[in-house]
């Protein structure tokens, strides 16, 4: 574990996926499946059931039509991430924060504090070798690999856990990111470079010059590389270097078979190819981690030139869909890594947390110490322009003593301190996560900041403990729940906006801060699914409906309660759901809780 000023305990690291899986098997946390499974939907159903209960990693030894085994849910449990790191993610974050505070060293004392991190820092420089395990054998194309089709309305099979390595065409800086790849045929795929991602920036620079971009895709990698690939590092910072830091051993690169740039040496498979300038094909639909299908849209195209693999390789895939899935555990670990780094940049931030239930980007709670009036709002604007945090849709500011991970504490603070006439900041017409469909315009939408901090001289509002049943006022309401004293969720059968406009003007609900309409498929009594059903289904500018507004010069002030129409709307993609016959089949032979409804 990391200890301030006392160095870091040396722990075992895993140079490959295979070694990590062997370790999991020795611990009894790997389940081998000898029965043949179908790459279409069946693996999805099994993986989703196991992820919900933090079950074991899964190794499918026989996948229909494939020549290689398939691993899923490798990091779909907190304990496995801690085993992979040899410590908690929070300990990694504490070490990173300590390193930054000690740089540049002001004397021997700072150097002494860094002594335990020296090995990890020295491991950050990737090592070039002549040839690695991943280059030992060749395939002619992608046909024999167990690519998955996760959901019935996906546009086809996808590489779902490809670690895509690119280099800036001029600066030669690297990016390693996870971008899905839609298989068009055995040698051509889509390349889903979302906005704000390093690989997309490299392609932009290459396309400006009219040149193809070389791409190497590692499929199956050690856990440090997997976690580094999802880390929100600043543009130009090498994810392979961060993987070396996490692992305590340098990432190894080797000469590829078809590319000028080096490729990962220790992956299970390496796909080498190019993405030409000016070429686009429709990619998708795909059931992604927002729990809905993303619409088909034009994206760049990857052309395969070579495939290589190690001895006895294992193909790795990730199942995404309605939370929780594997990305929950990876995303929460990465948050722990960088909380301390963020505090170095913003010392007023005490803690922050992005909610996996909302797809991470859709809901962020930030605990801030105000050192001057309204400093938290200044912080919010700064965070909205910082790296991956710039994709945040809803940010809730709370006082420094409030735990932002505790949803009840966050919404209780909102109940006591939020006044929409003063504490709501709406930002329309800005970049938004590519996967967010709520604005009906890809990559653009709106954001809002909710200030739920105490104000000088205020009398905190009382929590609302009970409200009249809204079904007595509106027969379009099917059910309701008063959550955390601040949010009245109503499940409706009719278009949500009309119901909201009626309810928010009723005096019986004047003390409620938020009245939210959700569709019939959203479970009200499950906190995780309630947050999912709310924050993935509304656009801040279009779907937030105040009880009243007042023009104060150019400032349009809102009066509460605020209504939020989070119902499914015409033009939205459908939520993902598995086929009933697949659910029944898996139920018969596998069992466990279903996560497909």
Q: Quote the DSSP letter at residue 362.
A: T
Scan for tokens 């995303």, then name that residue. Answer: 331
Look at residue 203 and give its three-state secondary structure.
helix
**What tokens does 428 get?**
């329309």
Q: Quote the DSSP letter at residue 251.
A: P
Which residues, at least 6 apart from 407, have a Cβ–Cβ distance to it below 8 Å? Answer: 355, 484, 527, 531
Query: What is the 3-state secondary structure of 463-524?
Result: CCCCCCCHHHCCCCEEEEEEECCCEEEEEECCCHHHHHHHHCCCHHHCCCCEEEEECCCCCC
- 19 phi and psi angles, rounded to 5 deg: -65, -35
The per-residue DSSP string of 31-59 comes to: EEE-S-B-TBTHHHHHHHHHHHTT--EEE
Give the integer Cα–Cα distance in Å for 18 and 57.
12
Give the integer Cα–Cα distance in Å for 358 and 323.
8
Length of the chain: 597
Closest CA to 360 of 435, 296, 295: 435
Give the integer Cα–Cα distance in Å for 285 and 155.
5
Q: Return the axis-axis angle of helices 78-85 and 89-101, rounded to nearest 10°.
A: 50
Look at residue 70 and give its three-state secondary structure.
strand
Catalytic-role residue among 238, 288, 451, 595: 288
Enumerate long-range contacts of 490-494, CB under 8 Å, 24 or more apart: 490/515, 490/516, 490/517, 490/518, 491/517, 491/518, 491/519, 491/520, 491/522, 491/524, 492/517, 492/518, 492/519, 492/520, 492/567, 493/520
Q: Would you call 110 a catalytic residue per the annotation? A: no
Q: Let me know: does 116 contact 6? Beta carbons within 8 Å.
A: yes
Q: Which residues are catalytic?
A: 288
């Amino acid at each position: 574990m990391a200890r301030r000023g006392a160095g870091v305990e040396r722990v075992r690291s895993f140079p490959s996926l295979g070694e990590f899986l062997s370790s999991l098997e020795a611990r009894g946390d790997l389940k081998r499946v000898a029965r043949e499974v179908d790459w279409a939907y069946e693996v999805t159903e099994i993986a989703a059931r196991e992820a919900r209960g933090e079950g074991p990693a899964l190794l499918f030894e026989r996948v229909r039509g494939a020549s290689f085994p398939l691993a899923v849910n490798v990091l779909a449990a907190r304990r496995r991430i801690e085993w992979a790191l040899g410590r908690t993610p929070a300990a990694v974050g504490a070490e990173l924060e300590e390193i930054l505070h000690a740089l540049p060293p002001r004397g021997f004392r700072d150097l002494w504090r860094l002594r335990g991190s020296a090995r990890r820092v020295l491991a950050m420089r990737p090592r070039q070798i002549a040839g690695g395990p991943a280059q030992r054998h060749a395939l002619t194309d992608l046909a024999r690999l167990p690519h998955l089709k996760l959901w019935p309305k996906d546009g086809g099979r996808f590489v779902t856990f490809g670690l895509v390595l690119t280099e800036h065409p001029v600066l030669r800086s690297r990016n390693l990111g996870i971008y899905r790849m839609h298989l068009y045929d055995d040698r051509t795929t889509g390349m889903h470079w979302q906005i704000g991602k390093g690989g997309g920036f490299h392609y932009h620079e290459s396309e400006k010059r009219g040149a193809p971009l070389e791409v190497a895709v590692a499929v199956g990698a050690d856990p440090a590389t997997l976690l580094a690939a999802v880390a929100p590092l600043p543009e130009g910072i090498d994810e392979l270097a961060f993987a070396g830091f996490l692992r305590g051993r340098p990432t190894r690169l080797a000469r590829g078979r078809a590319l000028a740039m080096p490729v990962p040496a220790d992956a299970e498979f390496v796909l080498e190819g190019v993405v030409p300038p000016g070429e686009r094909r429709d990619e998708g639909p795909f059931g992604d981690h927002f729990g809905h299908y993303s619409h088909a849209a034009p994206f760049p195209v990857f052309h395969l030139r070579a495939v290589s693999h190690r001895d006895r390789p294992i193909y790795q895939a990730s199942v995404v869909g309605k939370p929780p899935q594997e990305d929950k555990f990876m995303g929460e670990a990465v948050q722990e890594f960088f909380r301390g780094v963020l505090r170095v940049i913003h010392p007023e931030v005490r803690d922050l947390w992005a909610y996996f239930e909302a797809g991470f980007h859709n809901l962020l709670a930030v605990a801030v110490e105000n050192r001057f009036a309204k400093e938290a709002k200044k912080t919010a604007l700064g965070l909205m322009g910082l790296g991956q945090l710039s994709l945040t849709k809803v940010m809730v500011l709370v006082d420094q003593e409030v735990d932002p991970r505790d949803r009840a504490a966050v919404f209780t603070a909102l109940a006591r301190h939020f006044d929409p006439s003063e504490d709501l900041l709406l930002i329309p017409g800005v970049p938004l996560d590519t996967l967010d469909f709520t604005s009906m315009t890809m990559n653009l939408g709106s954001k809002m900041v909710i200030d739920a901090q105490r104000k000088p001289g205020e009398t905190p509002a009382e929590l609302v403990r009970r409200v009249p049943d809204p079904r007595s006022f509106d027969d379009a309401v099917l059910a309701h729940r008063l959550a955390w004293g601040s949010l009245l969720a109503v499940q409706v059968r009719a278009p949500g906006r009309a119901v909201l406009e009626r309810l928010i003007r009723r005096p019986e609900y004047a003390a409620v801060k938020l009245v939210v309409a959700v569709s019939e498929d959203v479970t009200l009594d499950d906190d995780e699914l309630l947050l999912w059903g709310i924050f993935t289904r509304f656009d801040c500018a279009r779907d937030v409906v105040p009880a009243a507004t007042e023009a104060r010069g150019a400032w349009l002030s809102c009066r509460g309660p605020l209504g939020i129409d989070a119902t499914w709307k015409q033009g939205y993609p459908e939520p993902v759901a598995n086929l009933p016959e697949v659910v029944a089949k898996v139920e018969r032979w596998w069992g466990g809780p279903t996560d497909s409804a």
